[in-house]
């Protein structure tokens, strides 16, 4: 029911870092994440929520029939620094993105199927980034007991 797939082919970046990614060493200067309330920001990406009690009820090659909706906001011009999120592709699991600051976003992930509402991974595309800007993504529901993210592991990011 909720499967809507973009026709554009997603390009994956094939690259292996020369060294393993180090764990993040907290400096105690990190700011507390902003709240995820929509009153504190602007929703810039939102897929329709899944009906309660349903996980996956039917499939269709290429996604749901009919025209695609636009879960993202439109840019107001070339100076608009709002990021454009997309997650309607295989394994994409971004449900919602709220802009809470000029370069700060609170993200909500779709729960993994066949789990007790765990979200232990993330996969989405971001466009309209700016060179030398520092972005902050707070994933509001990336919470699982004994996750390596609680031990200092950092998210993996590729950029072209």
Query: What pLDDT, on a 0 to 100 scale, did the predictor assign at position 51?
Result: 55
Alpha-carbon distance of 89 to 124, in angstroms, equals: 8
Burial environment of residue 149 by CB neighbours within 10 A (0 to 12, 13 to 18, 19 or more): middle
Query: What pLDDT, on a 0 to 100 scale, did the predictor assign at position 87?
Result: 87
Average pLDDT, the chain: 75
- Name the band, by pLDDT with cuts 50, 70 and 90, for residue 1: very low
**Domain edges within the chain:** 40-47+80-159
Query: What pLDDT, on a 0 to 100 scale, did the predictor assign at position 79?
Result: 92
Paired tokens of 139: 């994933």
DSSP label at 11? P
3-class SS string, 22-50: CCCCCCCCCCCCCCCCHHHCEEEEECCCC
Query: What pLDDT, on a 0 to 100 scale, did the predictor assign at position 44?
Result: 93
**Closest Cα to residue 125, out of 101, 151, 148, 159?**
159
Alpha-carbon distance of 31 to 8, in angstroms, equals: 37
- Give how far Cα 42 sits from Cα of 11, 101, 153, Å: 28, 9, 29
pLDDT in tens, 20-38: 766 666 666 666 655 555 5
**Closest Cα to residue 118, out of 98, 82, 93, 143?**
143
**Closest Cα to residue 49, out of 90, 5, 92, 110?**
110
pLDDT in tens, 60-100: 555 555 666 677 788 999 999 999 999 888 888 899 999 99
pLDDT in tens, 52-67: 555 554 555 555 556 6
Query: What pLDDT, on a 0 to 100 scale, did the predictor assign at position 19?
Result: 79
Question: What percentage of the chain exceeds 90 in pLDDT?
Answer: 18
């Amino acid at each position: 029911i909720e499967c809507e797939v973009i026709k554009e082919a997603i390009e994956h970046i094939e690259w292996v870092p020369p060294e393993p990614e180090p764990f993040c060493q907290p400096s105690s200067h990190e700011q507390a994440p902003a709240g995820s309330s929509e009153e504190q920001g602007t929703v810039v990406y939102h897929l329709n929520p899944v009906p309660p009690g349903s996980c996956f009820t039917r499939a269709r090659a290429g996604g749901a029939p009919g025209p695609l909706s636009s879960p993202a906001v439109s840019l107001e011009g070339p100076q608009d620094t709002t990021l454009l999120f997309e997650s309607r592709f295989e394994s994409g699991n971004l449900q919602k993105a709220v802009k809470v600051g000029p370069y700060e976003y609170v993200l909500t992930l779709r729960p993994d199927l066949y789990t007790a509402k765990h979200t232990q991974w993330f996969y989405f595309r971001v466009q309209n980034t700016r060179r030398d800007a520092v972005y902050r993504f707070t994933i509001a529901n990336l919470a699982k007991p004994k996750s390596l993210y609680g031990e200092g592991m950092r998210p993996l990011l590729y950029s072209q």
